[in-house]
Chain A
Amino acid sequence: MATVTVSHVSKAFGDVKAVRDVSFEVHPGEIFGLLGPNGAGKTTTIRMMLDIFRPDAGDVSIFGGRLDEAKKARIGYMPEERGLYKDLKLEPTLIYLATLKGVSESVARARLDDWLRRFDLADYRQKKVQDLSKGMQQKAQIIATLLHDPDLLIIDEPFSGLDPVNTRLVKDIIEELRQQGKTIIMSTHQMHQVEALCNRIVLINRGQAVLYGEVDQIKRNFAGNALALEGHGDFDQLPGVLEVRHQNNHTWNLTLETGANPQDVLRALLARPDVKVERFELAEPSLEDIFVTVVQSHQEADHA
């Protein structure tokens, strides 16, 4: 049984269709990436999953049915809009939020000690939230999401505002939670983190699911769409090339338009006297390349 099933949901705000016929499933024990550019409809989709918004059409099933009060206690949600009581002390704030999820105060207090130590916030438990740095507030927000030991985590930009050390810590914790059998839905723009953590993704663009499946399979499907080049000269203005990125001195990554033939690109390169090609190979694209390719090709299709 899927932990989350989103089935053909749509939501409009006035004339703006925020989400259109989006469907996906999230399975127990997986890290699922909910991706998309800004304003794509990710947050609206999450809010429909959590019954904050009701969909105009379609259905959402959480833990095998409609979301109710008991199921809410099994969900940890870290929204895009971070929220803690700024003029209150850290410890009572986190305990209060955990008790609202059905955890007793004593259990919450015991768990909180561990989390505060792990996030290096133990010395700040009696500080007001507003006196903490942005990174500390972010860590506190993550603790608020985890303190009641949820079975389903929905986290929006979990690495925002964190330094590399804390980013690594959060990554490790997410991985640990997956190993414990928790289900994690992660929304982020940091594609390398998605690549490192997620089993499967859905990419939403302009309210529609445009890519959905296992990360490895998606990368294999897009393998023909990326090229690694080494050489000299100007590699811009090549037919069928969507984006050219300079990696270092003599290395470039090229993202091809959907349906473009790499052989045509090679022929075009060889025909140009101003470039010298030392290496030309098909590259497995990064998730970021795929993201850009898909989003831009949809934009072009819309403009056409």
Chain B
Amino acid sequence: MRKLWLVARYEYNQIVKKKSFLVGVLGMPALIVIIMIISIIAALGQRSDQPLGYVDYAKLLSPTVTPPLEEGEDFTEMRAFPDETTARAALDNGDIQAYYVVPKDYMETGEIAMFYLTQQPGEIIQADFFDFLRANLLVKQPEAVQRRLYEGVNVIMRAADGSREMDTENPFNFILPYIASFFFVFIVMGSAGYMLQAVTDEKENRTIEILATSLRPIDLIGGKALGLLGVGLTQIGIWIATGILALIVVSFFIEMPPLETPWSLLAVVTLFFLPAYALVAALMTAIGSAVTDQRQGQQISGIVNLLFTFPFFFIMLIMAKPDSPIVTFLTLFPTTSFVTIALRWGMNIVPMWQLIVSWILVVGAALASIWLAARIFRLGMLSYGQPLSPKHILASLREQKSVVSNE
């Protein structure tokens, strides 16, 4: 076990000290900061202190009626004008940023005209007027009705057996599973590439024979996989921390929906991530052991990566028909289960039986692939310059089995 940690620490240090890692890990936060700054600038640009004007021919609006506001929430001042001429004069004079005209037949047509000079008010400003309009239209309703209509419908989907539920109102419920899928794919792609490189490097450097007489293959491969997992988690940890920090900073400038810790998503990600990652690492080890150099391995590993990212090609189907046989298959198949479940998590309820069967399958596949990879590694580690053919691998596995059974 100590040697496994030694290998893990060594692999981790080797990669995190590389310039390419630093560029990769700092590139994303830099991008997040840029996006954050742009968002804040755009938000600040939208929020103008100037009032909005309106001409109410339908006699529906009162400037004293305002929508219910959260504590500290900004709201644009609404200024009434008796006719369009005075409203236009105020606009030309720079007293207001725009004005709306509510026609007499508004209740029949629902049409409203907005006038501005050169700069259209931002969406937040426009939303303020429509909130103002909605509040006035509801002013004669009981307060509970007002609040319900004002806040809209909050659909909570529940599984028939009550095992799971999902709140559709919060956009984070939809976005976070996508982010989890993206991070998983990133770790798969990144770590798989590193894993392949780590194994082929040992072959190309001819260090395998020395290592084979120093530690068990499982310590070597497990240590490498662990170290590379650490690299991936470090990278993602820095990104998530930057993202959370960015959200906190942005929330001072832009109204954000409440962000609750998505415990159920975290649980399913934790349960599926490790076996799925072990499966990728083992497959890459097997490939790295069977080929002669990294370039050859990359061609094959591309296909493996595709197996893990396949659900993204079916994203429309997952959205439209989450219970279709193809989506169920993708949910259960070991290489596609993680991404499929993460994608479905944000859109609908994944039945509990599918979660259980899928987890059993991915854990089983991971254990089988680790077993296979250890044997192919032992077989391929000394075959310098010549790839292992499938026939050779099968024959040798049979030989190893007989040796083991004779022992």
> Chain A: residues with CB nearer than 8 A to chain B?
47, 50-52, 54, 56, 69, 72-73, 75, 77, 79, 81-86, 88, 96-97, 99-101, 144
Contact = CB atoms under 8 A, between A and B. Distances in A.
A100 B209 contact: no
A77 B7 CA distance: 19
Given A50-B212, A54-B400, A100-B215, 20 more contacts: A47-B209, A47-B382, A51-B213, A52-B209, A52-B382, A54-B403, A72-B213, A72-B215, A77-B210, A77-B213, A83-B205, A83-B207, A83-B210, A84-B207, A85-B205, A97-B210, A100-B3, A100-B6, A100-B7, A100-B214
B207 A85 contact: yes
B211 A100 contact: yes
B201 interface: yes
Interface of B: 3, 6-7, 10, 14, 201, 205-216, 382, 384, 400, 403
Contacts of A83: 205-210
Chain B at the A interface: SS class: helix
Nearest to A50: B213
Contacts of A97: 210, 214
Contacts of B14: 88
* Leading 4 A-B pairs by shortest Cβ distance: A83-B206, A83-B207, A79-B209, A100-B214
Contacts of A82: 206
B212 A52 contact: yes
Contacts of B206: 79, 81-83
16 contacts: A52-B212, A54-B400, A73-B214, A79-B209, A79-B210, A81-B206, A83-B209, A83-B210, A84-B205, A85-B201, A85-B205, A97-B210, A99-B6, A100-B211, A100-B215, A101-B214
Contacts of B215: 69, 72, 100
Contacts, number: 55
A73 B6 CA distance: 15
Nearest to B395: A14
A205 to B, nearest CB: 22
Output the residue of A50, A56, A79, A100 with the most chain B CB within 10 A: A100
A202 B238 CA distance: 59
Contacts of A96: 6, 10
B399 to A, nearest CB: 9
A88 B198 CA distance: 13
A229 B201 CA distance: 55
A77 to B, nearest CB: 5
A105 B242 CA distance: 35
B210 A144 contact: yes
A77 B210 CA distance: 7
Contacts of A77: 209-210, 213
A79 B215 CA distance: 16
B39 to A, nearest CB: 42
Contacts of B205: 83-86
Contacts of B212: 50, 52
Nearest to B203: A83
A81 B384 contact: yes
A88 B216 CA distance: 23
Contacts of B201: 85
Nearest to B400: A54
Contacts of B400: 54
A99 B7 CA distance: 10
A69 B3 CA distance: 11
Nearest to A80: B209
Nearest to B384: A81
B214 A81 contact: no
B100 to A, nearest CB: 68
A213 to B, nearest CB: 28
A79 B381 CA distance: 14
B10 A75 contact: no
A60 to B, nearest CB: 13
Nearest to A52: B212
Contacts of B216: 69
B393 to A, nearest CB: 13
